[in-house]
Amino acid sequence: MIDLHLRFSSVESVKTAHDMVHHIQSDIQQRFTESRIMIHIEPCTSECGDCNVIDCTTRKNEYKK
């Protein structure tokens, strides 16, 4: 069982997130053929302490408020 949480910027489209999840799931399934995969999409927030994206659009947009 593989349980993965992906954070996406709020400016990304649902289609972009969906396509990325589908691609990642396909890659994992090819490598681990017997795996069961659950991928969750979660929104980024300006409080995210894990982000290492230098030019993060979510943080930039939060500062404009």
Domain positions in the chain are: 2-63
Q: What is the pLDDT of residues 11-64, one digit of tens each?
A: 788 899 999 999 999 999 999 999 999 999 988 776 666 666 667 766 666 544
Q: Which CATH number does the domain 2-63 belong to among 3.90.920, 1.10.287, 3.40.50, 3.30.429?
A: 3.30.429
Rounded to whole angstroms, the Cα distance separating 60 from 46 reads 8
Residue 24: CA count within 13 A, CB half-sphere: 16
Sign (positive or negative) of CA dihedral 33, 27, 38, 50 = positive
Q: Please state the pTM of the whole predicted model.
A: 0.68
- Determine the pLDDT at residue 11: 75
C-beta separation of 57 from 9 below 8 A:
yes
